[in-house]
Chain A
Amino acid sequence: MKRSLFLSTAIAVLSWGAATQAETLRWALAGDALTLDPHAQNEGVTIMLQSQMMEPLVSRAPTGELEATLATEWAVKADDPNVWVFKLREGVTFHDGATFDSEDVVFSMDRARSEASQMKGIIASVAEVRATGPYEVEIVTNGPNPILPAALTSIMMLDKGWTEANNAVTVQNVAAGEVTFSSTNVNGTGPYTLVSREADARTVMRAFDGYWGKDTFPLAYSEIIFTPIQNASTRVAALLSGELDFIQDVPVQDIDRVKGTAGLKVESSSENRSVFFGLNVSDTLVAGNIDGKNPLADVRVRQAINMTINRDAIRDVVMRGQSVPAGIIMPPFVNGWTEELNAYPAPDNEAAKALLAEAGYPNGFPITLDCPNDRYINDEAICQATVGMLGQIGIQARLNATSKALFFPQVNAMETDFYMLGWGVPSYDSEYIFNFLYHTRDESYGSWNSTRYSNAELDAQIKAIAAEVDLPKRDAMIAQMWETAKNDLAYIPIHHQMLNWAMKDGLTVTVDPDNQARVKYFALN
C-alpha cells in the first residue's frame, strides 16, 4: 500500500461516509423535484420527492394495489353514485405537530382544484369536497366516477393552518412570477421531514418521529440524502465507487456491470409506460404529400411498418433485454390489458413489401421520423434502429432526433408525420389512454393525439366509459374499443419499458411500476 497521505485522507472521507450509511440513504437519479408545493407541478420526480414528506388520502403500494394512507376506508355513498365517502385516519400529526383532520382535506382538495394548480386536471371530475365529521369527508363528482380513489394518489394533503399562516393558500403560479413559501418549505404528514434543500444539488430529509406509520412500514433509514445526477455515466460511476446506495435509472447497458460489482444489485420490473410511434393518418403530410397522397393514411402502409419493426431485436440489442415488446400501446398493469391485445406480428419484410406494393408504393417513400433524444430509455437508438428496419422495405426514413424541449412542442403543434411517444397511465385505466391519445383532438380531449386520428364512434365510447359504473359492462366496452384501435394502427407499439433500480446489497425494495420510490417501504437486512 503505497498510497500517499492525501489519497488515504480521500479514502478516509469516503469510508467515513460508508460508516454512517447504516442509517443514511444516499440516493440519486437524473432529475430533481421542480418545487415542493404539492399542487404546483404534476411531474413524476416532483411527486416522488414530495411523497417522502407528504401523503395523499390513498396511495398506490409498490405492488400496485391501492393502500389506505390518510384515509382508512372509502366507498361510494350508498344512495348517491356521484359521492365518495372517505374515512380519515385518526391520530395523524403534521411535522409541526398540528393534527390532521377533515378540515385539512377539504382545504387541500380545494387548493388542488384551484386555478393555478397543475393537479386540477387529474381531479377535474370533482365538483365539491365537504367535511361530514372531523374524520370523514365526502367528495362529490360530476356524474359517477368509478376510479376516483386512483386519481387521488398524487394529491398531497397540506395543513390548513400552516399554509394559511405562511400565505401559501394559493398554489404557486409560476406563470405570474409568484414565489410562495410552500415551494421551498414542507409541513406534511409523511415519514420524513425536510432538513435542507438546494435545488438540483442536494436535498436532505430526516425521519419524522411522530409518523403515524412508524410500526407499519420498515422505515430502515433515518436520513435520506437525495442528489440528482444528470449524466448517466457519472451516476453509475458514483454507485460503482460506493458514493451512493441507490440509483433509480440505471442505463440498460450498465446493468451487468452493476450486477457484477460486489455489494451491488439490480432490481427490475415492468414500468407503467409504453413507447410507440404515432403516424399522421390524415390526408396531408406535413412535409408535403407524395404523389398527391399521404401514404400513412393507407392502413396497409401502417400495417407494413408494423410488420417490419423487429421488436425482439430492439429488445435484445438496443434494450439489452430490458423491455417487453408491445402489440398495444397500453402497459400491462392497466385495466383492459390482455395477452391477446399485446400480441405483435413477427417481422416479415416480404409481406410488408407486398403490402406497400399493394398500396401503390413498391419502392417505398421518404419520411422523417421525429424523436426525442433525452426522454425515454434509448429513445434515439430505438429510432435509429427503426430507420434501419424501414430501410429494408424501401421506406427512406430520416431521423430528426432533438431534445424534449424541442420535440414535444413540435408534436403538440402536430408538425410531424411520424413521431415517437411514451405514455404512462397513472390511473391504471384504459380510459386515460383513449381520452388523451385516441379522442379527436379538441379543446379538452385528445390533447396528446397528434396523429389526426378521428373516429366519431370511438369518441362517443370514450365519453361513455368515463361515467359507466357497471364495471363488467365497462370492461366489455373497453375491450371492443381496443379492438378498433389496434386495427386502425394510428399508433405503432414498440415496447413497454422496464425499470431498473440499482442498490447496495442488503436493501430490499419492490420496484414501483410508476418509478415512484418511497423510502418508507425500503427494508435493510
Chain B
Amino acid sequence: MIRSFSAFWHSDFGWKFRHSPTAILSALVTLLLVGAAIAAPLIAPFDPFNSASLNLMNGFSAPMTPNAFTGQVFLLGADDQGRDVFSTILYGLRVSLFVGVSAVLFAMVLGVTLGLIAGYVGGRVDGFIMRVADIQLTFPAILVAMLIFGIAKGIIAPQYRDQMAIWVLIIAIGLSDWVPFARVVRGATMVEKNRDYVQAARLIGRKPVAIMVLHILPNVLNPILVIATISLALAIIAEATLSFLGVGAPPTQPSLGTLIRIGQTFLFSGEWWILLFPAATLLALALAVNSLGDWLRDALNPRLK
C-alpha cells in the first residue's frame, strides 16, 4: 500500500498531480467527503435514521442556537423533523455516494460486458447492441430513471418500498449510463480482435476471450476511469434531480438530493440552513469529483500534454 503510493507519488502521473493545485484540492475535498460519509456513524452527533431518538420539538433549530423548547444546540441547525442537519448531511452523503458509486459500477459492468460482446462478436449482435446504445443515448437519463422507478414502485410491495428505493435508484441511474463504457471497450476490442495473439489463440483452439479481456482491460483502464469519474458526478446530480421529482431516496433515509428537495421548501421562510448546507455539500462533492475527472482526462491523455 505504502509502496504503491510511493510509486504513484514518484511516477510521471504523480508529478503532474503534485503540480496541479486543482487536482490536489479536488482530491482532498473528495477524500474528505468520502471519509466523512464512511465514518458518519462515528462522527455524526446524532443518528437521523433512528426515529426513536428524534424529538420533533427540535425542528427548525437555527445553527448554534439553543432550541426554544428543548435547549438543544445543533452545529448546523435542525431540519423540519428536528434532525441535526450536520448528521443528516453526513448520512445523506453516505446515501448519495453509495447510490452514485453503485450506479457507476453497475453501468461500468454492464457497459464493459456489452462493449466486449459487441466488439468481439461483431455483425448483427454488434449492430443490435450499438443500436440499443443509440436509443439509450437519445432517451434522457431522467426519463429512463422515471420509467424504471415507476415500474419498480408497482412491482415491489409497499412494505418493502423504502428499503428497495435505493436499489431501484441505483439500477435506474446505472442503466442510463452504460453507453460510454460500452463504446470505449467496443472500440478497443475491435482493434485487439485482429491482433496476432488473438488469432493464434483461436488457431490452437483456445477461447481467446479470456486473453483478450486481460489485454483489453488494461488498455481501456484510463478512459474507463475518466468516464467513471465524470459519471459519478452525473449520477449524484441525477439522484438529486430524481429526488426533486419525488422518485428519489425516501425522506426517512435521505440522500443529499432529498435533503435539498426538503430544504428548498424553506427557502423563503428564512430557515436557510436546511437548504444551504446540503446544497453546498452537494456542490462541493460534485465540483470536486467533476474537476478530478477533468484533470484525470487531461493527465491520462498522453496526447494532450
Contact = CB atoms under 8 A, between A and B. Distances in A.
Given a CB threshold of 8 Å, the question of whether A touches B is answered with yes
Interface of A: 232-233, 236-237, 240, 251, 253-254, 256-257, 287, 310, 313-314, 316-318, 368, 370, 373-374, 380-381, 384-385, 387-392, 394, 397-403, 406, 410, 415-416
B255 to A, nearest CB: 15
Contact of A254 (B57, B162, B250, B269): B269
B161 interface: yes
Given A397-B51, A398-B159, A403 B57 contact: no
Given A385-B81, A398-B162, A313 B57 contact: yes
B131 to A, nearest CB: 34
B39 interface: no
A317 B157 CA distance: 32
Contact of B250 (A390, A397, A399): A399
A387 B51 contact: yes
A374 B158 CA distance: 17
11 contacts: A236-B268, A253-B80, A257-B270, A287-B157, A313-B57, A317-B57, A368-B158, A374-B246, A381-B80, A392-B52, A402-B161
A387 B265 CA distance: 21
Contacts of B251: 380-381, 384, 399, 401
Contacts of B271: 253
A391 B52 contact: yes
B70 to A, nearest CB: 11
A387 B80 CA distance: 14
Given A374-B246, A391-B50, A398-B162, A233 B81 contact: no
B264 interface: yes
Cβ-closest 9 pairs across A and B:
A391-B51, A317-B59, A391-B52, A253-B269, A368-B159, A388-B54, A388-B51, A313-B56, A287-B159
A299 B273 CA distance: 42
Given A318-B56, A388-B51, A388-B82, 5 more contacts: A251-B269, A384-B81, A388-B52, A391-B51, A402-B153
A41 B21 CA distance: 64
Nearest to A392: B52
A387 B50 CA distance: 10
A415 B157 CA distance: 9
Contact of A233 (B59, B82, B250, B264): B264
A406 B163 CA distance: 18
Contacts of B51: 387-388, 390-392, 397
Interface string B260-303: 00001111111100000000000000000000000000000000
Contacts of B56: 310, 313-314, 317-318, 385, 388-389
Contacts of A374: 246
Given A236-B268, A388-B54, A399 B82 contact: no
Contacts of B161: 400, 402
Interface of A, helix, strand, loop or mixed by DSSP: helix
Contacts of A384: 81, 251-252
Given A388-B81, A401-B251, A370 B158 contact: yes
A256 B251 CA distance: 25
A401 B57 contact: no
Contacts of B265: 232-233, 251, 253
Contact of A416 (B158, B163, B270): B158
Interface residues of B, number: 30
Interface in B40-66: 50-52, 54, 56-57, 59-60
B10 to A, nearest CB: 52
Nearest to B158: A400
B161 to A, nearest CB: 5
B256 to A, nearest CB: 17
Contacts of A406: 153
Contacts of A402: 153, 161
Contacts of A310: 56
A374 B60 CA distance: 22
B91 to A, nearest CB: 15
Interface string B100-121: 0000000000000000000000
B82 A317 contact: yes
A360 B270 CA distance: 46
Nearest to A381: B80
Contact of B246 (A370, A400, A403): A403
Contacts of B264: 233
Contacts of A415: 158
A313 B60 CA distance: 12
A316 B250 contact: no
A318 B251 CA distance: 14
B250 A317 contact: no
A39 B252 CA distance: 42
Contacts of B162: 398-400
Interface string B133-153: 000000000000000000001
A396 to B, nearest CB: 8
Contacts of A392: 51-52
Contacts of A400: 158-159, 161-162
Nearest to B162: A398
Contact of A318 (B80, B246, B250, B252): B80
A253 B266 contact: yes
Nearest to A367: B159
Interface string B62-92: 0000000000000000001110000000000
Contacts of A403: 246
B81 A254 contact: no
Contacts of A317: 56-57, 59-60, 80, 82
